[in-house]
Amino acid sequence: MVTTGRACNARRARAAFTLLEVVIAMAILVMVLMICYQILGSTLEASDQIDRKTRPDKIGDAIMGAIRRDLQGVVWYGRGEDVFRGDDGGVGETARDEVHFFTTTRPVAMVQGRLGNEQWWTGVTSVSYVLHQSREVDGCYVLLRRESTEIAENPFETGTYFELYGKMKFLDIL
């Protein structure tokens, strides 16, 4: 049996999608994508909220980790009672404790690669953690870390201070 050209064209026309079917498929696709976008948006918003709520814990852990690392390297340097000095600045939310000590922890500048030659370092660094009133946030304090590789006559008076965190409420170590 021989098929004519008209019969082939009729079969092809029935096999194709109509404009209405394409529009319906596009509408369904748009609805699915809108639902996916809403799910993505709410997931990102929830992630941001969790980050905002857990940020103080993460910052606190990082600060305590830095202090712990320095305290693990505390060393006696033949300085008598001045090897570790703590100033008790109160109790509870009014606490403004200060700690000063010698440690074998490498200076931050050396760890960050800003100081290329390690021959000048004696292996001992004097470190302090102190609080100062914040100029930017009322009722808060700035936690400063001081370090000095010069073990001079007054090792806790020299060195460079840098800010660890600018929104401390209190420091109660002792």
pLDDT band (50, 70, 90) for residue 33:
very high
Cα–Cα distance measured from residue 10 to residue 24, given in angstroms and rounded to the nearest whole number:
24
Inform me whether the pLDDT recorded for 8 exceeds 80: no
Centroid of chain to Cα 43: 21
Q: Contact at 8 Å (CB) between 148 and 125?
A: yes
The model's pLDDT over 13-27, given as tens digits with 9 standing for 90+, comes to 567 789 999 999 999
- Residue 22, classified by CB atoms within 10 Å of its CB into exposed (0-12), middle (13-18) or buried (19+), is exposed
The mean per-residue pLDDT over the stretch 117-128 comes to: 71
Strands (E), the chain: 84-87, 98-103, 125-133, 141-148, 160-168
What is the value of pTM for the model shown? 0.59
